[in-house]
Structure 1
Amino acid sequence: MTFLMVNVLLMLTWAAVSGSFTIPNLLLGLAVGALSLWLVREQFAAARHRVNPVKLLVLTAVFFKELSLSAIKVALLVIRPDMQLRPGIFAFPLTLTRDFEITLLANLITLTPGTLSVDVSEDRKTLYVHALDCHDPAAEKRAISTGFERRIREAFPL
């Protein structure tokens, strides 16, 4: 059942990103989701019993909220005539320990406009993030920690 629910979430994400909720596009999203899950089937099988479906939906909702807010923020930054950008890279201390969780966090950060995951330290305790406007790295770290990172821990409990 978890496989089906994750595949449906992937399908809906596909439709939202492509901007088309037609039947053929939904079927294509379902096929791409199934292929993606098949490619990571061993990792998925290991984590399958530890997924909280409600919290996974909350994580998805938080991602779409952050996606929207970040897109608006970046748009407002770039249309300003003076464009006062302060790009920078900051080190985000990870509390997530599993590769799947770290990869998910890095991907969610990269998919959010204005931020990009650059690297993970060899000991997997630090994620380096580039921000388009990094005037307050502490606030960026707090936002990631209380947003995506916390929601990932809740959706995939140990």
Structure 2
Amino acid sequence: MKNRFLANLLLTFIWVALTGGFTFANILFGFILSYFLLFVITRGASKARYFKLVPKLISFFFYFLYQLIKANVQVAWEVGTPKYHMTPGIVGVPLDVTSDGQITMLANMITLTPGTLSLDVSEDKKVLYVYSMYITNKEDFIRDIKNGFEKRILEISS
């Protein structure tokens, strides 16, 4: 997988050097073009994990960006309006992620979104305790985390 990624970067830099345009759009286009070129060239290869992982990483990035923007708007609305709309609480989220890296990534993604904070992990690493400014329904909150960040982390790391 590292070799395909390095080949993708090398082809991207070759594209940028040949076109002479050192703009973000040109670099992005070169990366996408070289990704599809590598995909076509190595289509019959048995190790195609790289070609499955890159779209999942991009999807994860845009999902996190959407959640970040949504949470920022929600917290900004709370700060900007005189009425109190918060329903704060602490919820124990049962974990499907098992490794320390997966748990750390999940806790960091939750903490990076405004209005939520990962507090602690149980000793057996089966429950993550999360504070949120907006908990109207505990089951919905847990389902949102499990079907959102946790599901995508499991897809990336499998």
TM range (shorter): 0.5 to 0.7
Identity %: 41
Corresponding residue for 2:41?
none
CA distance in 1, matches of 2:103, 2:59: 18
* Deviation for aligned residue 1:116: 0.4
Point out where structure 2 has 5 or more consecutive residues left out of the alignment: 10-22, 25-48
Corresponding residue for 2:68?
67
Question: Is 2:83 the partner of 1:77?
Answer: no
Amino acid at match of 2:108: N
Corresponding residue for 1:154?
155
* Deviation for aligned residue 1:2: 4.4
Greater Rg over alpha carbons, structure? 2
Corresponding residue for 1:100?
101
Corresponding residue for 2:118?
117
Q: Hey, which bits of structure 1, 4+ residues long, moved more than 4 A? A: 1-5
Structure 1 residues 125 and 88: CA distance shift in structure 2, 3 A: same
CA distance in 1, matches of 2:53, 2:120: 28
SS in 2 for 1:52: helix
Amino acid at match of 2:133: L
Amino acid at match of 1:82: K
Deviations 1:6-55 (A, max 9, x none): xx9xxxxxxxxxxxxx99xxxxxxxxxxxxxxxxxxxxxxxxx8982221
SS in 2 for 1:116: strand
Structure 1 residues 72 and 100: CA distance shift in structure 2, 3 A: same
Number of residue pairs aligned between Structure 1 and Structure 2: 117
CA distance in 2, matches of 1:74, 1:141: 20
Corresponding residue for 1:35?
none
Amino acid at match of 1:84: H
RMSD value, Cα: 2.5
* Deviation for aligned residue 1:84: 2.5
* Deviation for aligned residue 1:80: 2.0
SS in 2 for 1:92: strand
Question: TM (normalized to structure 1)?
Answer: 0.66
